[in-house]
Chains A and B, each alone.
Chain A
Amino acid sequence: MKRKDLLGLDGVSREEITEILDNAMTMRQIVRSSNKKTAHLQGKSIVTLFYENSTRTRMSFELASKYMSAAAANISASASSVAKGETLIDTGVTLDQMGTDVIIIRHPMSGAPALLAKHVRSSVINAGDGMNEHPTQALLDMMTMRDHLGSLDGIKVAICGDVMHSRVARSNIYGLTTMGANVVLCAPPTLIPPRIEELGCTVAPTIEDACEGADVVMGLRIQRERQQKGLFPSVAEYCDNWEITPERVALAKKHALVMHPGPMNRGVEIASSAADSAQSVINQQVESGVAVRMALLYMLTRREA
């Protein structure tokens, strides 16, 4: 891998994505083995710098680092410190001086990882920035899909939920379209960003249209505050029209996968009966997450060698 940072999947080639996913399959063996310790990252220092709450993503990166023997540390900065505390650039330069090899950043504002990457020597991995991108989530999604479906070429992926505010959606649109998949979005019109089709996906008129013949039905988290902000009138009406239910999943292909990046709002964007069904690979997504992050950390830290 030649790149210093992974800020998003926009502009990442098919070859690069394939290489990451291939390496992740190898790494998954380590996650599954009884002795989860390798020397891949021995002597490397990895810091997670999170300006937003996160359990699974941060833990996933931390375990990925530790399974490969890196020195791993975490910084949790509150969102309020973004505006009031030390500047992002100063924090980044400070971490650089402490010998950090990789900074993994999550930040409520789009573009923050790009700003950081411009000012530090360390590699920067974007673990989610505002509404922009969350590339490792999309990579783990693609890894899971490829594992079950064999290939991403030509598959239909329906993404339903809060597309507007979703960095997961954007990274998946970039990654999946690069890999030859067809991405179909579905959400209330107030949660579809303008001209999103120009990114290479389509917007389905109804969730039934989105699910029809799909290989993957993926839900996105609906935050309750979106309703308070007036983007849709009630959870009940949302569910009537856009919830992922077994009936809607039944419109998809027989082997179709049900996915969700988590944390789920059961009974809002996805019914428990769909989330817990035999078609659901939501738990496997979590495992893929550790594997993908191991692969990425390994590839980024050996780029100089």
Chain B
Amino acid sequence: MLNSMLIRGGRVIDPANGIDKIADILVENGKVAAIGENLSAENVQVIEAGGKVVAPGFIDMHCHLRDPGQEYKEDLISGTKAAARGGFTGVCCMPNTKPVNDNASVTRYILEKAQLQGSGVHVYPVGAISKGLEGKEMAEIGRMKQAGIVAISDDGKPVTNSNLLRLAMQYADYFNVFIMSHSEDKNLVGDGVMNEGFISTKLGLPGITRAAEEVMIARDILVAEAEGKRIHLCHVSTKGGVQLVREAKRRGVRVTAETAPHYIGATDEWVIGYDSNCRVNPPLREEEDRQACIAGLVDGTLDVIATDHAPHHQDEKKVEFHIAASGISGFETAFCISNTKLVKDGHMTLSQLIEKMSATPAKLLGVEGGSLSVGSAADIVVLDPDREVTVDANRFVSRGHNTPFHGKSYFGAVCMTIVGGRVIDHE
């Protein structure tokens, strides 16, 4: 039978259904057919998962696949392969491509190329809020939705005009599309290249105040609150930002938020030595911010972990810190960092982590996956959460080898990634 398999003896963790037990999973025709003990099936591939964890595949709400236009950094082929290596079965790619994904034809190009040449990982394009990400006129949200976008964002460029944000919120809601906001006040950023604090003072690098992020998070929340619409906040990195989201949720604002593995796995002290692989936007913050992001994930203030996978060519990183490109290649380290910093450090259970990386993003995006319910797509990841791995950027599947985590050791290996009952990546 096509796209069928028996995954035997693993610890099945399916937070959406409250399952955490040793069981077999039978997959038939690309869908989960049964979960139970001692399942058997004839003429199907058997995957021995004894000692491993079997979970719904990860879904990344925030990545950059660079295609079209910057294929030297990454393309839909290398990007979806890297995603599969990281245990992702679905990824949302941001619209800051060249040309910008601000119209249906670019959306269709992305979906077709991913379908025809990708690794099998589902690609969910995010469309632009404004034409050309210029923050002036609204993009054709309705047509892009019809072509297949799941959300809109001017990621990388904040929507400075609050009225445009308000109008886009109203308009997009009609098409059942929500906004993912890159919250940043460019005037407060100024010429900053790292977090403003003791380390920026010590290194003589221009700092970025946390207020640059928090001012816009507050603005976004207030506009969404006034409109009664949904807003999703990208890459929250500060203690104050987490607190703003927490308070807004308490008031009943329809706000959701993500943080990235590097905000719970690294701090601005890593910039000492001027390693440009530590340059990322928002910048790596301080220990109290890192702790606040962890606390936000634990208490549900921060709904999901998204990678903000931002591959760059080495030529764009092997330069002075000031002119180095911002971003971290994140697919292939997302699980091991999150697992180590959240589960191994005792902040949450593995099931809760999987919820943040799979069930919740699927729910927020309204896409398939994120659960192992019988009848749902067999998008599955097999993990070895206790195995120690050493990050080797030179062995990344992604074209972007830019990571500050190179050479560091974490717990958690991704053993196998399955989409629609087909193994698309294994060790």
Seen from chain A, the residues whose Cβ lies within 8 Å of a Cβ on chain B are: 10, 82-83, 87-89, 107-112, 114-115, 129-133, 167, 170, 193-196, 198-199
Contacts and interface: CB of A to CB of B under 8 A. Distances in A.
21 contacts: A82-B320, A87-B318, A109-B320, A109-B322, A110-B203, A110-B205, A110-B321, A110-B322, A111-B205, A111-B274, A111-B320, A111-B321, A114-B273, A115-B320, A131-B206, A132-B203, A170-B204, A193-B201, A195-B197, A196-B201, A198-B202
Contacts of B425: none
B321 A109 contact: yes
B205 A131 contact: yes
A195 B201 contact: yes
B203 to A, nearest CB: 6
A133 B202 CA distance: 10
Contact of B318 (A89, A108, A132, A196): A89
A108 B205 CA distance: 11
A107 B201 contact: no
A28 B198 CA distance: 38
B319 interface: yes
A106 to B, nearest CB: 13
Contacts of A82: 320, 323
A88 B203 contact: no
Contacts of B196: 194
A114 B274 contact: yes
Interface string B255-296: 000000000000000000110000000000000000000000
Contacts of A114: 273-274
Nearest to A8: B204
Contacts of A110: 203-205, 274, 321-322
B207 interface: yes
B120 to A, nearest CB: 38
B93 to A, nearest CB: 28
Interface string B187-221: 00000000011101111111100000000000000
B198 A130 contact: no
A194 B274 contact: no
Interface string B4-16: 0000000000000
Which residue among A88, A110, A196 has the maximum number of chain B CB atoms within 10 Å of its CB? A110
By Cβ-Cβ distance, the 9 closest A-B pairs, closest first, are A111-B274, A132-B204, A131-B204, A110-B204, A193-B201, A109-B322, A195-B198, A109-B320, A111-B321
Contacts of B205: 110-111, 130-132
Which residue among A82, A89, A109, A198 has the maximum number of chain B CB atoms within 10 Å of its CB? A109
Nearest to A174: B202
A130 B201 contact: no
A268 to B, nearest CB: 22
A194 B320 contact: no
Contacts of A130: 204-205, 322
Contacts of A195: 197-198, 201
Interface in B208-244: none
A293 to B, nearest CB: 21
A110 B360 CA distance: 41
Contacts of A10: 202
Which residue among B201, B319, B320, B322 has the maximum number of chain A CB atoms within 10 Å of its CB? B320
Contacts of A131: 204-206
Contacts of A107: 320
Nearest to B202: A199
B319 A87 contact: yes
A129 B197 contact: no
Contacts of B201: 193-196, 198-199
Interface string B315-338: 100111111000000000000000
A165 B140 CA distance: 45
A199 B197 CA distance: 12
Contact of A167 (B204, B274, B315, B320): B204
Contacts of B318: 87, 89
Contacts of B198: 194-195, 198
Which residue among A10, A107, A114, A133 has the maximum number of chain B CB atoms within 10 Å of its CB? A114
A133 B319 contact: no
A115 B318 CA distance: 9
Interface in B102-156: none
A272 to B, nearest CB: 30
Nearest to B320: A109
Interface in B305-363: 315, 318-323
B203 A109 contact: no
A154 B267 CA distance: 35
Contacts of A87: 315, 318-319
Given A89-B318, A111-B321, A198-B202, 16 more contacts: A83-B323, A88-B320, A109-B322, A110-B203, A110-B321, A111-B205, A111-B320, A112-B320, A114-B274, A131-B206, A132-B203, A167-B204, A193-B200, A194-B197, A194-B207, A198-B201
Nearest to A170: B204
Contact of A115 (B202, B206, B274): B274
A130 B207 CA distance: 13
Contacts of A170: 204
A176 to B, nearest CB: 16
Contacts of A89: 318-319
Contacts of A108: 322
A167 B205 CA distance: 11
B208 to A, nearest CB: 11
A167 B323 CA distance: 19
